[in-house]
Chains A and B, each alone.
Chain A
Amino acid sequence: MGQETFHNIGTSTDWIVMVAYFMVIMLFGSYFGKYNRSTKDFFFGGRRFAWWLIAFSIVATGVGSHSFVKYSAKAFEHGFSSTMTYINDWFFIPFFFFGWLPIIVYSKIRSIPEYFEKRFSPSARFLATMLLLLYMIGYIGIGFLTLGKAALPLLPENMSILGMHFDVTLMGVITVIAIITGIYITFGGQTAVIFTDLMQGFILLFAGLLLFALGLSYLGGFDIFWDLLPTSWKMPLAKFNEPSSFNFVGIFWQDGVAGSIGFLFLNMGLIMRFMATKSVNEGRKAAAFNVLFMLPISAIVVGNAGWIGKAISLVQPDVVPPNTSPDQIFVVVANIVSSPGVFGFIMAALTAALMSTVDTLINATAAIYINDVHRPIKVWLKKYDEDARSEDKHELASARVASMIITTLGVLAVLVFRDFPTVYEAHGFFHSTLTPPLVVAVFLGIFWRKFTPAAVITSFVGGVALMILGANFPGLLIAPFDHGIRMDTAHPYSYIRALYNLVVCSGVAIIATLTTTGQRKIVSNIKANDNSKYIMYFITALATLIFVGFVFSSSFITLDSESIPEIIVMLLAVFLMSALVAISTTYFIKYDQREKTTGLTAWSIAKAKEMFKGSKVNDEEGEKVKVNWKRKDTDKDLVFFSKNDMAKMKANTGDLVYISDARKWLGGLKSTHSTFGEPHEEDGIVYLPEEHIKQGQFLEDRYLLAEKEM
């Protein structure tokens, strides 16, 4: 039986509500564009927000990316277990709270690839940038695909505008959505995104729970709904290893492990939110609140349309046919259980949430472009403007252009994913394939001091080659990890391939690290030779040639995916290539382990904090102080409190201070960071330089709240 698809769902009232909603959201976002005074504000929102504001703004990003469409689809097919991935993010929280989060804040990095340069080398940064850009653009593509699938059932199959007749296609809808999305991210920046997401986070939760309530009411109450669903549909976790399109063990490795680390450690959009909190501790609070409370609620919010749809299809198959296209079930159910106008509101909330995800990702990808492509190229070409303010202005303009280009690439990325049966499987395949090399590299970088540049580059190159081999020979290479999952020949091992990919990337990384002494011996022998440079050029060229051969192998050779001799030859080639890469990087990269790990691994967090401050950390816990402010004519980054106020805060001259508008509901929007200058005698007064007054957008008649940071 084929899948039933729908068009023209909704009334003109719904469309009016949707258009009005979008206009309000865009105006709201544009208003906060005024808080962008530099690229630091455009990308990071100026490291000033309270935890609760970030926690709620993450809801729209998280829920948007783990969207209504894909979870409702799986909920309609499999029940409550569709949202199991919302409740498996806690396992890596210790690593995040006390490893990655303090490192990214204290090392003052602006992007993940920058960490790779500080911790390893510029070449490691280059490879990480390439992989991360692929990851981010792929993520944007998934977001656009979901948006298109959500919007398509609302539109007619074809329409006429100014006498021109055309079909409404998925790619056409996505292109229009991309233009709207691009507009306010380009002109708004991170502060706009945070505040739009904050508003949308609330509305989204309300809309999702409203839909659940309307659905239960339509069915006649919770008891009827509960009794209608078969037991297997109420299980919170899927069946262990079947079917291949949705099984527990594959999804655990794809989402619970690779996805969770990817989301917490590599998703620049999310990381930039944590970097926008006023301190590491506030970042921890935001993350804990989000994972403990918001994600379980979000699981109900995003999945319930599918559960309700299943229940209706059991009692009224003429209203919701059992063969309804899963990716359309959210829209179909929302239309059935809600009245005109309410349906428009729910759809607007859904699409706006998806846009939140996409705009966060576009902003984050633009940050990577500026930090890891644009700026290094300008420095290399010696065209970097030494005047920081003038350069910042240029970069802000480039960031806006980059946002538009990235939006276009995101639309093109949809072409890769649109042939998967559902968005869920497309996302699963994407996560399993792109995250493992980066996940392994960043994870070992943070927690293993012995992990070297040679090892990280070898794990990128060798790991990717082995992943390509796995994709070409799934029956031989991925099958040993399959936990009994049947291989679907159309999309082999969409989820469990994540385990294989993680194992091979980790394996290469660990072997390359443990053989460091051997690599150094080989390199010193080569260096003793008069032709050492030529030998190294040859080794590098050979390794590159083998890698290029792997990338394009399936294009110019017909591979027999069951041939054992072929796989043995390929594996030997990977082994040889990895060895050559390790030797080559050991030869070319100068690496001082002590210098490159201080403040950049979990083993030296205290040192990282000290480096952030620039002097010894003052950890004494003091009080917050409420003060009035006065202007001081100085260019120095110093603020001046009275002796008594500093004593209350347990602060010394040179310590760091955070000052915000005393109205807590602003969540730090009007705030700034600075350093304590020499104290004066006027209690209850702080003297601020002009730049800090502008940065904090402080008002003359408003009190400020000050607290010592460290």
Chain B
Amino acid sequence: MPSFFDAWLPFIYLYGVGGIFFFSGIIIIKKSGAINLSKKRNKFWLRVMLFGFFYFVALHFLVNIAALYF
């Protein structure tokens, strides 16, 4: 069984540092007006972007669990 350092640190680092980039992006496009949330289409894309982030978190988490315990 890999140590916690090998099993979970890459996961935490990936979504910690990657998350900083991702949410900075969301904040910047919102602040700059590049995404206008009063438009239906832009609201849809904001939901897609957030879904995508958590979709990959879940994907990595599940494969990690499968590798460690199954």
Contact = CB atoms under 8 A, between A and B. Distances in A.
Interface of A: 80, 87-88, 90-95, 97-99, 102, 226, 231-232, 234-240, 248-249, 252, 256-257, 281, 284, 288, 291-292, 296, 447, 601-603, 605-606, 619, 621
A291 B59 CA distance: 13
Nearest to A242: B6
Interface in B15-70: 17-19, 21-22, 25-26, 28-29, 32-36, 39-41, 45, 48-49, 52-53, 55-56, 59-60, 63-64, 66-68, 70
Nearest to A281: B41
Given A231-B1, A256-B14, A93 B25 contact: yes
Contacts of A94: 22, 25-26, 28-29, 35, 49
Nearest to A102: B34
**In the complex, the 10 A-B pairs of residues with the closest C-beta atoms, listed nearest first:** A94-B25, A234-B67, A237-B10, A248-B10, A98-B34, A98-B29, A236-B63, A91-B18, A602-B34, A603-B32
Contacts of A98: 29, 34-35, 45
A236 B60 contact: yes
> Counting chain B CB atoms within 10 Å of each CB, which of A91, A236, A239, A281 scores highest?
A91
A619 B22 CA distance: 28
Nearest to B60: A236
Nearest to B41: A281
A92 B21 contact: yes
B10 A238 contact: yes
Given A87-B60, A90-B22, A602 B67 contact: no
Q: How would you classify the secondary structure of chain A's contact residues: helix, strand, loop or mixed?
A: helix
Contact of A231 (B39, B56, B67): B67
Given A90-B52, A252-B13, A281-B41, A240 B34 contact: no
Q: How large is the interface on B (under 10, 10 to 19, 20 to 34, 35 or more residues)?
A: 35 or more
Contacts of B52: 90, 93, 288, 291-292
Nearest to A293: B55
Contacts of A292: 52, 55
Contacts of B63: 80, 234, 236
Contacts of B21: 91-92, 257
11 contacts: A87-B59, A88-B14, A92-B25, A232-B2, A235-B67, A240-B9, A248-B13, A252-B13, A281-B41, A603-B32, A603-B34
Nearest to B55: A292
Q: Of residues A80, A226, A231, which shows the largest number of chain B Cβ atoms within 10 Å of its Cβ? A: A231
Contacts of A288: 48, 52
A231 B29 CA distance: 41
Given A235-B64, A237-B60, A91 B22 contact: yes
